[in-house]
Structure 1
Amino acid sequence: MQEAAIEVQGLGVHFRRNRRGRRSFKDMFAGASRRSRPGEFWALRDVSFTVQPGESIGVVGRNGQGKSTLLRLVAGVLLPDEGSVAVNGGVAPLIELTGGFVGDLTVRENVRLTAGLHGMSKAEVASRYDDMIAFAELEEFQETPYKHLSNGMKVRLAFSVVSQLNEPILLVDEVLAVGDKAFRDKCYQRIDELLAEGRTLFFVSHNERDLRRFCKRGLYLNKGSLVLDAGINEVLDRYNADSGTR
């Protein structure tokens, strides 16, 4: 039997309301109780699902229901308080795209640095560099410091670099909501190409059109719980009904 791309079992994570950040290291080291303490809430609780290689999953729910937290747990940015997340294969994180770029470095230097940090070898960076710059439409800005780029240019550059990674799992969080129409169309085409190669897609979005276009299966989160795991059309219909949008 083929190994799952993502396997989540009994997942739970909680945060503090009264200050920024998670529980302190002292609390975790001391084995603090898993019950919510005053000022804490469970962002996710008892969430379980499995994603097979090549599946395209859309995660839906209102703001504050745990979608982005789930994505960060899968990405390994957060650690769970309960349960487990197993990711079998590298991830290409199309989330918080402009994070990790260095303002004083040039576009050229940032491409080499960011691609390298994501595991791309020097030879791979060299062979794909021109394509990344062309996709981002930054041929004339290669020696420009990153901090002098417009926000649109920064997003184009980041998407171009991350979407060139060879990782089998794509983690996407509303990235397609940014940029002008022409660039969004390029992003759509690029994701279509990656899915045609058999990549696994884990996609958090409020855009129903994008969800129906890219995803076959959906996960509906509400108040940190997994309400429904089914075909994307069934999940969106249930979500819309619960939200009173239909």
Structure 2
Amino acid sequence: MSSVSEVQAVSEYSVATAVKVENVSLTYRTTFERTPTFKTALVRLGRGERAVKEVEAVQDVSFEVPHGNAVGIIGANGAGKSTLMRMIAGILPPSQGRIEVDGRVSTLLALGVGFNNQLTGRDNVILGGLAGGLTREEIHERYEDIAEFAELGEFIDMPMRTYSSGMFQRLAFSVAVHMDPDILLIDEALSAGDATFKQKAAAKMKDLAANARTMFLVSHALRSVKDMCNDAVWMHNGRLMMHGEPKEVIAEYRKFLKFGEDAYSMEDF
């Protein structure tokens, strides 16, 4: 295997694998001010000393996901879940390893990334569609479905700066799932919003999966992962701890964190 990091898009469905992650790592280099001692501060007139620290966000992760799987990615904050998703999306290049993606990707990694708050919801549907690779004709054909799913009513023609967080979320989710994606990446998109929208979003995801689409859902809501996914990945400190059936992976994760299967823990951890 080449030592050169690579994210490769496969153009044809010649294999059953939607996403293949091989020995992938990502290391950040960051700087911070080291607080000087009293003695060195006098010598250096109080100037801070800049130090370099390497952060291993993802470490030697490998797994494969077939077409049609709904994958839940779980783990504590800082586990590397979102970083892994951004590498699969091609937003972040891995420091080492290789990622193969077979199909068209639509991302909902942060609510409304790329949206312009000064523009209307209608205008942002067009922006989101163009960013997702659709033509203006394709956007026009799907606009009514997107607007109906988002349930914004007359607010669709108002600037997005006037939207509540829930309205913002509904439009962002609606645009993402109507891009006709082969692979849908969702990071905590269902963590906000009312119960009715969560049910509709879950139904839409199941509908996509039924049509041989592949989905990745990063979430702390273990019950959502258990109900909506048929595959699960557990990350901890940048490492892959377990990959398998959601019920089994969640059970090991709960055992690791030493909490039971009550309603509170299943939704918030």
Match runs of 1:126-137 below 5 Å: 126-137=140-151
Out of 124-133 and 65-74, give the one that drifted further. 124-133
Aligned to 2:21: 8
Aligned to 2:243: 229
Aligned to 1:175: 189
Runs of 4+ in 1 over 2 A off after TM superposition: 16-19
Aligned to 2:63: 49
CA contact (8 A) 2:31 2:52 kept: no
Q: 1:94-119 deviations in whole A, cap 9, x for unaligned? A: 22021110122222111112111101
Aligned-partner Cα distance in 1 for 2:200–2:66: 27
Q: 1:172-198 deviations in whole A, cap 9, x for unaligned? A: 111111111111111112112111111
CA contact (8 A) 2:68 2:210 kept: no
Gaps of 5+ in 1: 20-36
SS of the aligned residue for 1:177 comes to: coil
Of 224, 232, 245, 1:218 maps to: 232
Of 107, 110, 133, 1:93 maps to: 107
Match runs of 1:55-66 below 5 Å: 55-66=69-80
Of 180, 186, 203, 1:189 maps to: 203
Aligned-partner Cα distance in 2 for 1:55–1:155: 24
Aligned to 1:25: none
Displacement of 1:157 = 0.9
Displacement of 1:170 = 1.1
- Count of equivalent residues: 229
SS of the aligned residue for 1:39 comes to: strand
Displacement of 1:17 = 4.9
Gaps of 5+ in 2: 1-13, 33-50, 261-269
Aligned-partner Cα distance in 2 for 1:212–1:155: 22
* Pair 1:121-2:140 in alignment: no
Displacement of 1:39 = 1.1
* Pair 1:104-2:148 in alignment: no
Aligned to 1:166: 180
Displacement of 1:79 = 0.7
- The TM-score normalised by the length of structure 1 is 0.88
Structure showing greater Rg? 2
Aligned-partner Cα distance in 1 for 2:24–2:136: 37
Displacement of 1:2 = 2.2
SS of the aligned residue for 2:169 comes to: helix
SS of the aligned residue for 2:147 comes to: helix
Displacement of 1:139 = 2.5
Aligned-partner Cα distance in 1 for 2:15–2:53: 43
Aligned to 1:155: 169
Of 159, 177, 182, 1:145 maps to: 159
Q: How many percent identity over aligned positions?
A: 37
Aligned-partner Cα distance in 2 for 1:150–1:240: 34
Q: Higher strand proportion, which one?
A: 2
Amino acid aligned to 1:209: R
Q: 1:174-229 deviations in whole A, cap 9, x for unaligned? A: 11111111111111121121111111111211111111112122211112111112
Out of 77-86 and 37-46, give the one that drifted further. 37-46
CA contact (8 A) 2:28 2:56 kept: yes
Amino acid aligned to 1:118: G
Of 208, 212, 215, 1:201 maps to: 215
